[in-house]
Amino acid sequence: MCGTEGTANIIKKNSIKCKKVNKVSGGSPHIVDILNAKKIALVINTGGGKRAYRVQDSTSLRRATLINKVPYCTNMSTAYACLEGIKSLKSKKMDVKAIQNIFH
């Protein structure tokens, strides 16, 4: 797990290992570099203000997740739903059914 400074500090205070990474505006190596290196599987970015550098950071991050096909959550309720889905996929067998067979 990794996070930018504020996020990483909160995660560490809760006794979870978390590597601190730079925001894009903080210089390389930054979060987009790590995404482009294929070392991140899920991004949770809840935003952080309307200052120009923050908007640019969010835009760069969003673009990198799309290019690298990494799931991107923009709020905690979406992140929770995503994590619950991942947990469910790991613990249950998934079946595929034609929608026509369900609603006939």
HEC secondary structure over 15-44: CCCCEECECHHHCCCEHHHHHHCCCCCCEE
Query: Domain residues of the chain, as ranges?
Result: 2-102
pLDDT of residue 54: 78
Tell me the chain's radius of gyration from C-alpha atoms: 17
Q: Which CATH number fits domain 2-102: 3.30.470.20, 3.90.110.10, 3.40.50.1380, 1.10.1740.10?
A: 3.40.50.1380
What local confidence, expressed as pLDDT, does residue 11 receive?
92
Written as tens digits, the pLDDT of the chain (104 aa) is 999 898 899 999 999 999 999 999 899 999 999 999 999 999 998 876 667 777 888 889 999 999 999 999 999 899 999 999 888 888 888 788 888 888 87
Per-residue confidence (pLDDT) for residue 49, from 0 to 100: 65
